[in-house]
């Protein structure tokens, strides 16, 4: 997985991120499995927001 610095934050994040909005449409257990797989494959940038409710 390619890693880059996120702006001036000093954070090192994967170039591929995970957009979490669709997670609210599936069960908690399914979401947990998918998120864990993404993390295990090297993704460490997860895009979510409070307005996404369950995401």
pLDDT value of residue 13:
96
CB half-sphere exposure, 44, CA atoms < 13 A? 11
Percent of the chain with pLDDT over 70: 96
The domain total for the chain is 1
Q: Which residue in this structure is represented by tokens 């460490």?
A: 44
Which pair of tokens denotes residue 29? 């257990």
- Local structure of 37: helix, strand or coil: helix
Which residues does the chain have with pLDDT short of 70?
54-55
Provide the residue range defining the domain that includes 11. 3-52
CA distances for 25 relative to 7, 42, 50, 54, angstroms: 31, 24, 15, 9
5, 31 Cβ separation under 8 angstroms: no
């Amino acid at each position: 997985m390619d890693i880059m610095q996120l702006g001036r934050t000093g954070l090192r994040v994967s170039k591929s991120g995970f957009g979490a909005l669709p997670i609210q449409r599936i069960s908690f257990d399914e979401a947990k499995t998918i998120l864990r797989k993404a993390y295990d494959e090297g993704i460490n940038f997860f895009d979510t927001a409070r307005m996404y409710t369950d995401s």
